[in-house]
């Protein structure tokens, strides 16, 4: 619109991703408290003389002044960062810790995938993402537990929470042993589709504990249970996203005895697929079950 003057407004945000632009600029992907996910240009932040370049690194919680239309009705879809103050730069606290860094990358990518529409407020997802990054920075719980808790709660916000206390198909309450990713979670014997997984009862308990935030139960879970839980959570998330998360296969699961969250790939019984790999429909749940019996 001719003569439109960009307005200034403030918001606090989590930095999800940064991309190079030109010789000295960056495009910053932000998840803001009041305006949802948006992208903004930070000019000159790659120069050594930049006053706020270090504050716009991934996983930081920052307070920003942005130039642009917060509703996206006028002007460019890219806003401009005119001022930034660091609230808590979580990334600096685990920059040299590969497991926590890769888990934070998976959290940031998931947050971006769960907000497909720019400028659509999502306060609960913002708070969940901020809390997960804070938990990684504090290091009070195992990295994989924090990541899986975030993925489960993020799916719950999106309406994709796996059924754990009732059959996903018919709604029969109870603790069902079978788990089918395409069906939506635990299934009773009457509704169990062919090839459904049969995870250990402790795995379902761990998924329930992570969903509601019962860290006493979660922290006490054994490595094998955590690995099986991670495989089911990753398969369930990527089934609903209908695409793979690039960062999820890179997550370091802490040197567990077998490839953490791994699943056998089709066609080769000796090949292990990483936790973030996408398998054909119900192959993910089948392979988690088969690993348990091998």
Give the residue among 89, 75, 86, 82 at the shortest CA–CA distance from 10. Answer: 82
Percent of the chain clearing pLDDT 90 (strictly above): 66
Rounded to whole angstroms, the maximal C-alpha distance in the chain is: 69
Q: How much is the average pLDDT of 103-132?
A: 95
Look at residues 144, 150, 136 and name the one whose alpha carbon lies nearest to residue 93: 136
Query: 3-class DSSP state for residue 30?
Result: strand
Average pLDDT over residues 184-206: 95
- pLDDT of residue 148 exceeding 90, the answer is yes
Q: Check: CB of residue 228 under 8 Å from CB of residue 203.
A: yes
| Amino acid 72: pLDDT | 63
The pLDDT value recorded for residue 284 is: 45
Instruction: Work out the pLDDT band at 285, boundaries 50, 70, 90.
Output: very low
End-to-end CA distance of the chain: 65
Q: Tell me which of 294 and 37 has the higher pLDDT.
A: 37
Q: Tell me the backbone φ, ψ of residue 136, rounded to 5 degrees.
A: -65, -40
Average pLDDT value for residue range 260-288: 37
Phi, psi of 2 (to 5 degrees): -65, 135
Residue 131 token pair: 């809390």
Q: Is the pLDDT of residue 278 over 50?
A: no
Alpha carbon distances (Å) from 79 to 7, 134, 241:
10, 27, 27
Work out the mean pLDDT of the chain and round it to a whole number.
84
289/75: higher pLDDT: 75
**66-86 pLDDT, tens digit each:** 988 777 666 567 889 989 999
């Amino acid at each position: 619109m001719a003569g439109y003057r960009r307005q200034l407004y403030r918001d606090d945000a989590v930095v999800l991703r940064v991309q190079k632009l030109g010789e000295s600029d960056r495009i910053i992907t932000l998840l803001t408290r009041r305006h949802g996910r948006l992208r903004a240009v930070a000019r000159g932040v790659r120069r050594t003389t930049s006053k706020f370049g270090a504050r716009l690194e991934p996983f930081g919680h920052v307070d920003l002044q942005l130039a642009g239309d917060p509703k996206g009705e006028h002007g460019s879809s890219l806003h401009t960062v005119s001022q930034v103050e660091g609230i808590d730069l979580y990334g600096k606290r685990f920059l040299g810790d590969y497991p926590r860094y890769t888990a934070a990358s998976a959290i940031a990518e998931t947050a971006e995938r769960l907000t497909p529409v720019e400028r659509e407020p999502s306060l609960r997802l913002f708070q969940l993402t901020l809390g997960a990054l804070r938990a990684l920075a504090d290091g009070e719980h195992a990295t994989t537990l924090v990541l899986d808790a975030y993925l489960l709660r993020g799916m719950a916000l999106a309406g994709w929470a796996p059924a754990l206390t009732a059959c996903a198909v018919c709604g029969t309450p109870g603790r069902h042993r079978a788990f089918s990713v395409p069906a939506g979670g635990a299934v009773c014997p009457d509704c169990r589709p062919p090839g459904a997984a049969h995870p250990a009862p402790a795995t379902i308990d761990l998924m329930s504990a992570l969903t509601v935030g019962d860290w006493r139960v979660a922290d006490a879970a054994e490595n094998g249970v955590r690995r099986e839980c991670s495989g089911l959570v990753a398969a369930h998330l990527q089934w609903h996203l209908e695409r793979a998360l690039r960062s999820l296969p890179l997550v370091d699961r802490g040197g567990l005895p077998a490839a953490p969250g791994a699943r056998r790939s089709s066609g080769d019984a000796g090949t292990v697929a990483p936790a973030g790999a996408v398998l054909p429909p119900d192959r993910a749940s089948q392979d988690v079950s088969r690993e348990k019996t091998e």
